């Protein structure tokens, strides 16, 4: 078999598992190629790539998300983001993703506190959004707001885009591998919520590249304060030290926010004073 054939068959084998067939194919191919270049056997490469994908994304998702059924339910709900029934539905679905589930107990406080000084939001870029589009009803959105998002999972991106449209927002949610391309869409606010530790398992440089590459006035970055099993283990201190390393020498104004399960930082570009 040729190298190209080996890679194609390896990618197909990795993506046969339900947990990985929805992940952006380019990322799977890149990881698979890297494993082949190390001299791994076919079986070893499949195991290694699936393990990496589980660490980066798979561990955070509940099995069998019924996104088509969710979309059908959504079509019957109000388009008003303040509607209690819509909000209750959003919360029930956010419980299916570990990252958003951990934020549910402080959902309203999280966005009210971290975004308090920004006023109405006209444009948002949500990096590695997962089910976070469902948190849009808790953000202070302007009537003409546009929401842009991206995720490794194609079906999550599609569902997020359907929810964006349901709320009548501009923008788009797409499938993307952030380690190869950082969106340059200019926005008022970018979100990188508990994202950097995951992506750094694929690329150790991605944290600093995100902070310098995203085209935004404000960037809300967060890190988990506890493991998926609920243990703190000094994670907050470790990630805060890492954040300070990433932002050293950069021209950001930084605000810090501590929540039971999450440590957040709002980075803002310094305002230029008129001459």
Residues 6+ positions from 13 with CB-CB distance below 8 Å: 42, 46
Does the pLDDT value for residue 75 go beyond 80? yes
Which CATH architecture does the domain made up of 67-268 adopt? 3-Layer(aba) Sandwich (3.40)
How far apart are the C-alpha atoms of 118 and 75, rounded to whole Å? 31
pTM of the model: 0.87
Q: How far is CA 18 from CA 15, 23, 35, 54, in A?
A: 7, 10, 21, 12
pLDDT in tens, 95-105: 988 778 889 99
Secondary-structure breakdown of the chain: helix, strand, coil percentages, each rounded to the nearest 5: 45, 20, 35
pLDDT given at position 175: 92
Residue pLDDT, tens place only, 34-56 = 888 888 888 888 888 888 887 77
120 pLDDT above the threshold of 50? yes
273 pLDDT above the threshold of 70? no
For the chain, the structural domain boundaries read 3-56, 67-268
- DSSP assignments along 192-225, one per residue: EES-HHHHTTT-TTHHHHHHHH--EEEEEEEEES
Q: Dump pLDDT digits (tens) for 147-184.
A: 999 998 888 999 999 999 999 999 999 999 998 889 99
d(CA 158, CA 173): 7
Quick check: 274 pLDDT over 50?
Answer: no
Question: How many whole angstroms separate alpha carbon 93 and alpha carbon 116?
Answer: 25
Between 227 and 127, residue with greater pLDDT: 127
């Amino acid at each position: 078999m040729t190298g190209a054939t080996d890679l194609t068959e390896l990618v197909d084998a990795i993506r046969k598992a339900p947990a990985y067939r929805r992940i952006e194919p380019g990322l799977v191919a890149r990881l698979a190629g890297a494993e082949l270049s190390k001299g791994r056997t076919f079986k070893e490469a499949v195991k290694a790539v699936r393990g990496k994908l589980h660490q980066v994304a798979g561990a955070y998702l509940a099995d069998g998300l019924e996104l088509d059924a969710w979309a059908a339910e959504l079509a019957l709900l109000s388009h008003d983001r303040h509607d209690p029934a819509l909000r209750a539905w959003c919360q029930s679905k956010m419980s299916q993703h570990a990252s958003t589930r951990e934020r549910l107990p402080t959902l309203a406080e999280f966005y009210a506190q971290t975004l308090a000084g920004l006023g109405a939001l006209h444009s948002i870029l949500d990096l590695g959004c997962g089910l976070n589009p469902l948190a849009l009803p808790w953000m202070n959105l302007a009537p003409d707001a546009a929401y842009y998002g991206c995720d490794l999972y194609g079906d999550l991106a599609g569902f997020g885009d359907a929810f964006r449209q349901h709320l009548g927002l501009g923008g788009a949610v797409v499938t993307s591998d952030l380690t190869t391309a950082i969106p340059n869409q200019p926005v008022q606010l970018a979100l990188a919520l508990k994202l950097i530790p995951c992506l750094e398992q694929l690329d150790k440089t991605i944290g600093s590249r995100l902070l310098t590459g995203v085209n935004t006035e404000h960037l809300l970055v967060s890190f988990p304060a506890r493991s998926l099993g609920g243990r703190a283990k000094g994670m907050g201190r470790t990630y805060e030290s890492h954040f300070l390393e990433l932002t050293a020498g950069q021209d950001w104004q930084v605000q810090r926010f501590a929540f039971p399960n999450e440590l957040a930082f709002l980075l803002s570009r310094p305002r230029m004073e008129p001459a």
